[in-house]
Amino acid sequence: MKISNSLFMTAGHVPSAARARRVMAAAMTCFCAAVVALVFYSSPGAVFASSANSGDPVRGKELFEKRCGGCHSLDADKEGPRLHTVYGRKAGSIPTFKYSGALKSAQFTWDAVSLDRWLTDTESVLPDNNMDFHVPKADERADIIEFLRVSSGK
């Protein structure tokens, strides 16, 4: 298959090799930017991050009470730790709660992305934790996380 050089021709002249390299470099830069954008916008964290402020805290409160309230409350430790200031807090840091070894040694802070990953699949975030629960629907996770963010004063 013969490839035409017409892309590099202007006014019937074949440009210099330097110009051809500049054109190819620009084309590759555009291609790379498109690939990066595609990867960014198709990753779960990015999708959630773009919709992070779309969560409904009122619906999130209802979902929290229904789905999470059996083990958690905002102001008191239960089977799970209190979650009043969870958003922005270091994982495993409530001194009055007995965390699993995995959560005690965790080195991350709870934010929209980490909470979304946690509520999707706790084991993928931190193996050997004591929470065997997940919220499969992305819109429900977003609502619960927005409720926790607002409840944390963030």
- The domain ranges of the chain are 6-42, 50-151
Mean per-residue pLDDT for 52-64? 88
Asked if pLDDT for residue 48 goes beyond 50, the answer is no
Band (51; pLDDT cuts 50, 70, 90): very low
Residue 34, pLDDT score: 47
In this predicted model, what pLDDT tens digit does every residue of 3-39 receive, in sequence order? Answer: 555 444 455 555 576 676 776 666 556 454 444 444 3
The CATH class for the domain spanning 50-151 reads: mainly alpha
Question: Nearest-CA neighbor of 137 among 74, 79, 55, 82?
Answer: 55
Per-residue pLDDT, averaged over 135-146, amounts to 97
pLDDT of residue 57: 97
- For residue 45, the model assigns a pLDDT of 42
Question: How many C-alpha atoms does 13 have within 13 Å on its Cβ side?
Answer: 5
Q: How far apart are CA 134 and CA 144, in angstroms?
A: 12
Identify which has the larger pLDDT, 132 or 36.
132
Q: Single out the residue of 92, 63, 90 nearest to residue 80, CA to CA.
A: 92
pLDDT tens per residue across span 70-94: 999 999 999 999 999 999 999 999 9
Q: By percentage, how much of the chain surpasses pLDDT 90?
A: 61
- pTM higher than 0.75: no
Residue corresponding to tokens 């193996």 = 127
